[in-house]
Amino acid sequence: MTDLSSVARRALPLLDLTDLSDGCTDAAIDALCARAETPVGNVAAVCVFPAFVARAKKTLAGTGIAVATVVNFPAGGDDTVAVEAETDKALADGADEIDLVMPYRAFLAGRPGFAETQIVRVKRRLGAAHKLKVILETGRLVEPAAIRAASDLALGAGADFIKTSTGKVDVNATPAAAEIMLTAIRDSGRPAGFKAAGGIRTAADAAVYLDLADRILGPDWASARTFRFGASGLLDDLLAQLGHGAAAKPSAY
């Protein structure tokens, strides 16, 4: 039987605590940043819309918590110049990590070179201190072969992490997609990370993904440098498993 308190202790510092809700406000960002510092340790990062990067950066100064933001979100569009400009503004405002939605529609339409070029061009704008997470939107890629090809493409284009989902479609993170992506990271032979996002609400959910990472990449692989959970509600259940609140209801895949 899985020891959920051990899972919670392991998962909490891997969390990108997220608010990408429609109608997000300054007050919501302040609350998010306050939640990111918990009685049992800090999360890895907060993930917010670009408009809130500067506020989050100022609020979290000195905490060691990174500020992540999203670009080309959520549609994964084709306007690379606009995506570059969005990235530049986010970096100027203090973003530490950029979560880029790969232009997955172009990829699915037989234009992988376009998708690769956009990733390369965004990656070039990031200095060594900034991480690029490429969102594949696996729920739209659907087929295992497409998920593997997109993973290989993003890793080859310089992604520091590959991420499952935006959380804005009907199918987001799944263990099946995660297994393909983690295997691609292993096979790439380069230091890259994995982020599971969308629909991960409980410590039991988190355990599924950590177990996959342990099996495919080894029990010492997953750390904040290589593994993240993107979620808004997961923190509450992790804290509950550690004696700080009420546990969430189980999820079903």
**Per-residue DSSP letters for 200-211?**
--SHHHHHHHHH
Mean pLDDT per 10-residue segment, the chain (253 residues):
92 98 97 98 98 98 98 98 98 98 98 98 94 98 98 98 98 98 97 97 98 97 98 97 75 50
- Select which of 16, 96, 99, 160 is catalytic: 99
| All domains in the chain, ordered by first residue | 25-241 (3.20.20.70)
pLDDT at position 127:
84
Q: Please say whether the dihedral angle defined by the alpha carbons of residues 152, 153, 157 and 160, taken in this order, is positive or negative.
A: negative
Q: Which of 96, 123, 163, 205 is catalytic?
A: 163
Q: Note the pLDDT of residue 1.
A: 59
Token pair in block for residue 41: 């340790």
Take residue 88 and report the two structure tokens written for it.
């530049």
Q: Establish whether 30 is a catalytic residue.
A: no
Burial 148-158 (b: 16+ CB within 10 A, else e): bbbbbbbbebb
The residue from 123, 131, 133, 195 that is catalytic is 195
Pair 14, 224: CB distance under 8 Å:
yes
Helix 112-124 and helix 144-156, axial crossing angle in degrees, nearest 10: 40
**Catalytic status, residue 163:** yes
Round to whole Å and give the CA distance between 202 and 68: 22
User: Does the global pTM surpass 0.85?
Assistant: yes
Whole-number pLDDT of residue 86: 98
Phi, psi of 135 (to 5 degrees): -85, 120
- Residues 229-249: b if buried by 16+ CB within 10 A, e if exposed: bbbbebbbbbbbbbeeeebbe
- Verify whether residue 57 is a known catalytic residue: no
Question: Is residue 221 a contact partner of residue 228, using CB atoms and an 8 Å limit?
Answer: no
**pLDDT for position 40:** 97
pLDDT at 253: 43
